[in-house]
Amino acid sequence: MDDARRKFPSVRYETATQYFEAYRDEIIRSWSTVDPAAVTAAAKILQDCIERDGIIYVCGNGGSAAIANHLLCDFQKGIQTDTSVKPRVVSLSSHLELITAIGNDIGYEDIFVYQLRTMARPSDIIMTISSSGDSENIVRVVNWAKSNGVPTIALVGFSGGRSGAMADVTIHVAAENYGTVEDVHQSMMHLFAQYLRQSRMTPEAIEKSSF
């Protein structure tokens, strides 16, 4: 296995302190694998979407669903704080009644793409969050978006999977541990929200504000 994606943990740690130190080091290593150019490209897609009053759609499964819903909070509320920006954000992971109806009547693979093809327009964007990058319901979203002119940003880990290979911009965390991949994805969500907020604030407002 490429050292950039080495397995963690690969040995047993006898104490919590040892695991803490190893996990901390793995987080730092995982962070270092993210391409700054991809971050810059993703930030521009997000910023352009907000400026043209498009909708930012986001989705993920499990822990990635929690990050998607957290993104909704930090983008829609957080970016507005001390700015005149009013981002429009929809988490496709948050509609429990609709998700279960689609999953039960059609199939779990369509829970996100069904919503997206109903609502999305070319002025919008979609951000997918998937550690493996290979969840079928995520892959279908990216495939539909690319076929319909909707820009895509994929947050992925491990090998990047099919969604990472197809997306317009891919934020790839080259790590083999779901926890560290999700930790970096969560941090990326915070990074984008805070960057977009401060980019519309005066230096004086930034100095006085909490982030």
Query: Is residue 42 situated within a structural domain?
Result: yes
Query: Is residue 153 situated within a structural domain?
Result: yes
- Structural domain including 176 reads 8-201
Query: Is residue 211 situated within a structural domain?
Result: no
Instruction: Indicate which CATH number applies to the domain containing 69.
Output: 3.40.50.10490
Residue type, 18: Q
pTM as predicted: 0.94
Question: How many CB atoms sit inside 10 A of residue 55's CB?
Answer: 18
Query: Is residue 209 situated within a structural domain?
Result: no
- Residue 185 is predicted with a pLDDT of 98
The CA-to-CA distance between both ends of the chain, in Å, stands at 39
Alpha helices, DSSP H only, in 6-156?
16-32, 36-51, 63-73, 96-105, 113-119, 136-147
Query: Is residue 1 situated within a structural domain?
Result: no
User: pLDDT by residue (tens digit) across 54-90?
Assistant: 999 999 999 999 999 999 999 999 999 999 999 999 9
Q: What is the pLDDT along the chain (211 residues), one digit of tens a residue?
A: 455 567 899 999 999 999 999 999 999 999 999 999 999 999 999 999 999 999 999 999 999 999 999 999 999 999 999 999 999 999 999 999 999 999 999 999 999 999 999 999 999 999 999 999 999 999 999 999 999 999 999 999 999 999 999 999 999 999 999 999 999 999 999 999 999 999 999 999 999 999 9
Distances (CA, A) of 1 to 153, 156, 157: 26, 18, 15
Integer Cα distance of 197 and 191 in angstroms: 10
Distances (CA, A) of 186 to 17, 127, 156, 182, 183: 24, 13, 12, 6, 5
Query: Is residue 206 situated within a structural domain?
Result: no
Integer Cα distance of 93 and 19 in angstroms: 32
Q: How many domains does the chain have?
A: 1
